[in-house]
Structure 1
Amino acid sequence: MRKTVQLLLVASLCGCVATTPRPDAGDQGVDPIPFSLALEEVVITGIRQRLPDPASVRLGRTLAGERTVNGRKEIVVCGFASGKTAAGGAGGDQAFIARIYPDSASSLELVAMGGASETRRLVDSTCSAAGLPISDSA
C-alpha cells in the first residue's frame, strides 16, 4: 500500500494522473504527536534544501504523527511551507508530506511538495486519510 501511495504521489507531480486517487486509510493511520521545536528544525532544514531562497522558509499549519511500518518507526509530517522566489518575491504556500526516520539521524525524506491544486488536493487527502488533516476546512 505504501508503495502504491508513493507511486500515485510521484505520478501526480508529473501531471500524469487525470484524477486525484482516493487513498485507503487502512494502514496509513498515524498516532498524532506534538510538533516540537526539534521536529520543526528537522523539517525546516529538509525543506530549505528544496526552495530557491532557503533563509526565507516559513512553516504554516503543520501536523505530525508516528507509526511503525515493517517494524521501522517513522514520523509523518504534513503541512504547508512558504518561501521567497529566486527573484525575492513571495513564493506562496506549498503543501508537503514528509517522513522522518528517528533511527536514521532524523533526516527528512520529502514524499511530495508543491503548490499546484492537484498536488495540494493529493497531499490534503493523503494526510487526512492518515489522520493529519491540514486543509483550512479541517
Structure 2
Amino acid sequence: MSRNWKRLILIGLAVPNVLSGCWAVFAPADWYEDFPGWSPRLVSALPPFNEHLAADAGAGLLATGLLVLIAGLYLRRDMTIIATVGYLAFSLPHAVFHLRHPGDGMSTAENALNVTALWLAVVLAGIVLIDELRRRADS
C-alpha cells in the first residue's frame, strides 16, 4: 500500500472520531439528540440518554481519533500499529454491537447503512494494520 493511501485512510478514519468526540465531550446532550447532524439520528435511536456515558464515549472517540490522526500525519510503523490496534479495540466491538442491536428508531435501510459504514472502517483499519505488520521493521 502506498504511503499516500495509508495517510488518506488513517486521516479519513480519524477526522470523524475527533469531530464527534469533541462534540460529545463538550455538548453530550446535543450530541446524543442530533448525531451525526442529519437524519437518521444514530445515538438517540438507542435510548436512554446518560450524560456521563455520552461524555465518556466522546472521550474515547476523541482519544482514538487523535491517535489515528497522529499516525496518519507521521506514518511511522510503530505509531501506525499502535494507533490501528487502539482504533480496532474500539471500532470492532462498536460495529459488532450495531450489527447485533439495530436502532429501533431507524429504518432497515438506515440500520444497514450504519452497520456498513462501521464495518468499512474496521476493514480499512485492518488493512492498514496488516500492511504494517507485513512490512519489515527496518524498512
> Does TM, normalized by the shorter one, top 0.5?
no
**Which structure shows the bigger proportion of residues in helix conformation?**
2
**Which structure shows the bigger proportion of residues in strand conformation?**
1
TM-score by length of 2: 0.28
Structure ranking higher on relative contact order (CA contacts 8 Å, 6+ apart): 2
Structure with max Cα Rg:
2
